[in-house]
């Protein structure tokens, strides 16, 4: 084999006396030559990677579902009681100092912050004694009943509306549909204490009774239907039996979509997306530790972080549920 042939075939220079090359042909990569073929991935490895991703996704969904159920059934009640205790102390101090709200504007002439304590609602016949916050978004109603901003303060001339949850977060209005005509309702605000007597319990399609000029009325609202599956709204009307108190008119008759009955609150979607990413990362780390560091170590290291992150995720998911639920 001559030099040109060796260059073409890439043989080793060693040849036997007869001129025959005994070196194995070598692949010479030159201009225009095909690149070497990549070794195909092992199907078993591909399947194992896919199953690992599916496992993490399924684990994330399972933890999220379990966290939401536990949050609504257990943790939300604890959160409600803690928020009510804090709101009661705040409102009591404000009443004592004479700084409790007397209208939709605070002392700085700005709208009251969402959730700001503005009244104490008492319904002795069904055991309700709750601080009412300003606003009716899902976030506000997690801490207790909320006052619809487009209505007057309780005790004033006109209709005042208060929303409350039926099941989750303490379910303070779970039994208002059981109120009978004549049941007493007492509301204390920064202006004074007002007394109401229940007159009617209304459901969808019922006619709203007219209110005579110069009179006051309180309307309570919550969800109806199966537990955690609201299908409608129940309204309880109560007429003011005590002397009407001076109450500032609402600043605006328009409320946001998130403040209406059975509305959802999408303001925290960005925070929910962030917590979902954190949850996926934590669960991915837990799976990795389970296989690489052992089951005991994975349980010890990741149980608390998974529970904590799942709680925050469930709390943000709850905002996407109807606010009266």
Domain closes at, from 259, 283, 305 = 259
Determine the pLDDT at residue 153: 93
Phi first, then psi, for residue 98 (nearest 5°) are 75, 25
Determine the pLDDT at residue 249: 76
176 lies in the same domain as 281: no
85 lies in the same domain as 149: yes
Determine the pLDDT at residue 147: 96
151 lies in the same domain as 284: no
Number of CB atoms found within 10 A of residue 236's CB: 24
195 lies in the same domain as 211: yes
Alpha-carbon dihedral 169, 124, 191, 324, rounded to 10 degrees: 30
Instruction: Tell which residue, 189, 190, 199, 178, has the closest CA to residue 241.
Output: 199
225 lies in the same domain as 90: yes
Q: Whole-model pTM?
A: 0.78
242 lies in the same domain as 312: no
Rounded CA-CA distance 139/123 in Å is 23
Determine the pLDDT at residue 142: 94
Number of CB atoms found within 10 A of residue 118's CB: 26
Give the residue ranges of the chain where pLDDT is below 50. 7, 10-15, 19-22, 24, 26
Q: What is the mean pLDDT of the chain?
A: 84
Rounded CA-CA distance 178/141 in Å is 21
Q: How many residues in total does the chain contain?
A: 325
Asked if the structure places residue 25 within a domain, the reply is: no
Asked if the structure places residue 271 within a domain, the reply is: yes
- 15-63 per-position pLDDT tens digit: 455 544 445 454 555 555 556 666 666 677 666 667 766 766 776 677 7
Number of structural domains the chain divides into: 2
94 lies in the same domain as 239: yes
Determine the pLDDT at residue 2: 54
Rounded CA-CA distance 169/167 in Å is 7
Domain coverage including residue 278: 57-71+267-318
Rounded CA-CA distance 147/115 in Å is 9
Asked if the structure places residue 13 within a domain, the reply is: no
Q: Hey, what are 109's tokens?
A: 């002439």
96 lies in the same domain as 191: yes
Determine the pLDDT at residue 324: 94
Domain closes at, from 210, 230, 259 = 259
Long-range contacts of the stretch 56-63 (C-beta < 8 A, 24+): 56/280, 56/283, 56/284, 56/287, 59/283, 59/287, 60/276, 60/279, 60/280, 60/283, 63/279, 63/283, 63/306, 63/310
CATH of the domain at 147: 2.40.260.10
């Amino acid at each position: 084999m001559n030099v040109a042939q060796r260059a073409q075939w890439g043989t080793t220079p060693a040849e036997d006396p007869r001129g025959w090359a005994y070196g194995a042909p070598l692949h010479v990569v030159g201009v225009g030559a095909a690149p070497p073929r990549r070794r195909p991935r092992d199907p078993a490895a591909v399947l194992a990677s896919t199953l690992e991703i599916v496992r993490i996704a399924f684990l994330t969904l399972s933890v999220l579902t379990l966290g939401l159920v536990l949050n609504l059934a257990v943790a939300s009640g604890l959160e409600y009681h803690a928020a009510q205790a804090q709101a009661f102390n705040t409102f009591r101090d404000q009443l004592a100092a004479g700084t409790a709200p007397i209208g939709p504007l605070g002392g700085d002439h700005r709208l009251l912050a969402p959730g700001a304590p503005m009244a104490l609602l008492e319904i002795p016949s069904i055991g309700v004694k709750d601080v009412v916050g300003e606003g009716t978004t899902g976030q506000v109603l997690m801490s207790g009943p909320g006052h619809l901003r487009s209505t007057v303060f309780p005790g004033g001339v006109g209709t005042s509306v208060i929303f409350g949850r039926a099941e989750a977060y303490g379910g303070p209005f779970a039994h208002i549909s059981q109120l009978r005509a004549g049941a007493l309702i007492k509301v204390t605000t920064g202006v004074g204490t007002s007394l109401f007597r229940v007159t009617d319990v209304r459901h969808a399609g019922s006619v709203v009774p007219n209110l005579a000029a110069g009179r006051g009325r309180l309307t309570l609202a919550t969800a109806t239907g199966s537990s955690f599956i609201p299908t409608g709204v129940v309204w309880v009307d109560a007429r003011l039996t005590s002397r009407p108190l001076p109450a500032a008119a609402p600043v605006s008759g328009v409320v946001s979509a998130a403040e209406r009955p059975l509305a959802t609150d999408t303001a925290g979607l960005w925070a929910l997306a962030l917590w979902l990413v954190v949850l996926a990362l934590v669960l991915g780390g837990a799976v990795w530790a389970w296989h690489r560091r052992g089951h005991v170590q994975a349980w010890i290291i990741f149980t608390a972080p998974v529970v904590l992150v799942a709680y925050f995720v469930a709390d943000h998911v709850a905002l996407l549920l109807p606010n009266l639920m």
